[in-house]
Chain A
Amino acid sequence: MEVFVISLVAATLRVATPLIFGTLGELFAERAGILNLGIEGTMFFGAFVGFWVAQVSESLWIGLLAAVLAGMAAGLLMAVFSVTLGVNQHVSGLGITLLLIGLSLFSFRLIFGEPRVPPSIRPFTQLNPFPGIPLLEPLFEQYALTYVALALVPMVWWLLYRTDFGLRLRAVGENPEAVDAAGISVFRLRYLALTIGGGLMAAGGAFLSLGQLGAFTYGIIAGRGWVCIALIIFAHWHPVRVLWGALLFGGVFALQLRLQIAGADLPYETFLALPYVVTIIALAIAGRGAAAPAALLRPYKRE
């Protein structure tokens, strides 16, 4: 039994890792007042760029770095549309998602063709920073990036609530007029938030291609970006609750895999769908008013 639980928790952490990266990335954007629907495409793009550059450079870490840079570029693109041009954020975000997915698939096909055996690389190996505890061994065997993700949560919290930058970020998502009146550039803040966010999202995607899979496939992201959008609402836009939400989703996913193997009767899709349904209910109950950054979705024009 203990083995089951330990392995479940270990799997949960693994599954939650890309969600943590992606959701924290979206958190930056939304706390600044921008809904970035480009997240799905950015994660996809990060997965592809990470894989490709890792393959070419034969270094996983360089691949990861390239992915982060690619994600930052994607965030910048979103900033141009939603901040400078003030275009409808939903459409521009979806457009960027479509663009990045298309670009990734096009490039992958062009570079790697359609081989029978998909190209792969040696992925990250899991490491154990706390060896020697027999029972908990599987729990601590995680990818380095998982530990990074876990460490990111308190770091983002600290950045948001204990630094000047974080204060300005929180302010601009609630009341950009107040920020402008204080002589701070709303545009610069939002550009920065989207760029950082994009980098994080792409890292989440790269984790999947460089860490778990060691390959890049069409379905590598499979809607995780939208899950992150839902997770943010779930987490009431708070970094620490993002962690709990990601673990919850991750746990459900890991659980249903094990239940399948154990031969459970309920269709596993029920478990997969459950978090989404619960989020919709949570939205209905919370209403969106209370917790969402007040300036979310409203482009800022200096009147």
Chain B
Amino acid sequence: MRFRLERSPAPYWVRPLIPVIALIITFLLTASLIVWADANPFEGYYYFLIAPLANRVSAIEVLVKSTPLLLTGASVAFAFAAGYWNIGAEGQLYAGAIAATWLGLTLDGVSPFIAIPLMLIGGFIAGMLWALPPVWLKIRLNVDEIVTTLLLNSVILFLVSFLLNGPWRDPISGWPQSPEIAAATVFPKLLPRARLHLGFLVAMMVIGLMWYVLSRTRLGLTMRAAGLGPEAARYAGINVKRTLLTAALISGGIAGLAGVSEVAGIHFHLIEAISPGYGYTGIVIATLGALNPIGVAIAGLFIGLIETGSQNVSRALGVPAYLGDVVQATLLLVTLAALALQNFRLRLRAPDAAAELAAEEA
């Protein structure tokens, strides 16, 4: 009698439990870090997850922190609906940030009703443009999009560095940061005495639009067909390559909006550190949200909670704020493992290597 981890679908009731199981395992694992920091894990998780929601100010801060994450998460999820891995959301975000800064420095004296839509459009287009080379190379020359997007992520950082140390260097302070953008281009606040800005509204709208496009439009159906069954989609007459291109470009644009949001809503100028990896976190969010819009929204808000909470737990208990990064990454890996293990079953005997094969060949 031998034990074997066999590939065959797990019982159906496992599937919805996966997020819960993943969360529990994650918290068990990361509790060890809290203990290492000489703090009580329950207290730690209280400050981490509950306290941020306990009062108005910090609950709103969660929404603020979620804003760029919702956008990058939506960006990655949208591309992947069509089967395209957009690892370049980080770079596209910066592209949008650059465009927003340029517009912000140029559009002085223009009415906000014109300036802000222009910012959004400009950032979207910039993100699209930065997303173009990798997808074009993939479609035309079958070059793997992962490596090209990663490389471009680095390249745009150099561009930002160049701009901030050169033409856009703030003449007043001399630091590598751009001058402040024009007042007309600043995102209005949504609530008094809080940092919540237009970007959050834009993010919610984008997610809503994403849901609409994917479930109610022709593009959405062709994208899903191309992502779920490219051969069958092609057989049915769908132009898979063109669909991929559209999906990748829109995805890039959404990521660009995240950059606009950070410049126009939070920082009001361009700095090198405008994104501490939001593009990569977007991949985490898209994976956790199972790539569907509602899931992405929930995951994005949850990660926003984690980001806020990590600063909270640092202030309150002295646990380093990087706990949040570890929790996110652990959650991602545990979720991946759980999703993979749902395809396995523990078998008691060693079956035929090919017992599942139909007798197509004989």
Contacts and interface: CB of A to CB of B under 8 A. Distances in A.
A and B touch in the complex (CB under 8 A): yes
Interface of A: 35, 37, 81, 85-88, 90-92, 94-96, 98-99, 101-103, 105-106, 109-110, 223, 226-227, 229-230, 233, 267, 269-270, 272-273, 276-277, 279-280, 283-284, 287-289, 297, 301-303
Contacts of B316: none
A233 B332 contact: no
A288 B85 CA distance: 17
Interface string B308-343: 000000000001111111101110110011011100
B87 A85 contact: no
A272 B157 CA distance: 10
B173 interface: no
Nearest to B137: A284
Contacts of A86: 340
Query: Chain A contact residues: over half helix, strand or loop, or mixed?
Result: helix
A96 B333 contact: yes
30 contacts: A81-B333, A85-B337, A91-B336, A95-B284, A95-B333, A96-B333, A98-B280, A98-B325, A98-B332, A99-B326, A99-B333, A103-B326, A106-B33, A106-B326, A109-B320, A109-B321, A109-B322, A110-B36, A229-B147, A267-B162, A269-B159, A269-B165, A270-B158, A273-B154, A280-B133, A280-B152, A284-B137, A287-B143, A303-B354, A303-B357
Contacts of A297: 144
The 9 closest A-B pairs by CB, nearest first: A102-B325, A99-B329, A109-B320, A98-B329, A106-B322, A85-B340, A269-B158, A269-B162, A102-B326
A92 B336 CA distance: 8
B30 to A, nearest CB: 10
B298 interface: no
B7 interface: yes
Contacts of B133: 280
A284 B151 CA distance: 13
B236 interface: no
Contacts of B322: 102, 105-106, 109
A104 B325 CA distance: 10
A302 B353 contact: yes
B148 interface: yes
Given A110-B36, A230-B147, A269-B158, A90 B336 contact: no
Contact of B141 (A35, A109, A284, A301): A284
Interface in B149-165: 150-155, 157-159, 161-162, 165
Contacts of A289: 142
A245 B166 CA distance: 29
A95 B329 contact: yes
A170 to B, nearest CB: 20
A87 B340 contact: yes
